[in-house]
Amino acid sequence: SNILFFKEEIIKNDLQRGFLKSNSAIQSCIIPGNEKVKNIAKILKQEGFEVKPILSPTVPKGSERLRFCLHSFNSENEIREVLKKLTKLLP
């Protein structure tokens, strides 16, 4: 249910262009640039969200991303809030 809720919130926040299509508990948002994705992950961590940056050369340059791992213990409010904060951090 958290995966479905996460995907609905992606659409509500108009973030679908940045997210890779996935039906798994791992969701990825493409944010090109190692420094940019690291900075956004750092800000989200300071806000209490454990979202990991995946950097080049682990992924090809220009396809760096944030990795969201959804768990059964994540609340809908946590999911809603992390995506709202992400929306504010993206150009």
Q: What is the pLDDT along the chain (91 residues), one digit of tens a residue?
A: 999 999 999 999 999 999 999 999 999 999 999 999 999 999 999 999 999 999 999 999 999 999 999 999 999 999 999 999 999 999 7
pTM: 0.93
User: Minimal CA–CA distance to 22: which of 10, 12, 34?
Assistant: 10
pLDDT score, position 22: 96
pLDDT score, position 39: 98
Count of C-beta atoms within a 10 Å radius of residue 20: 11
CA distance 66 to 85: 13
pLDDT score, position 36: 97
> What residues contact 9, with CB distance under 8 A and at least 6 apart?
79, 80, 83
pLDDT score, position 91: 75
pLDDT score, position 87: 97
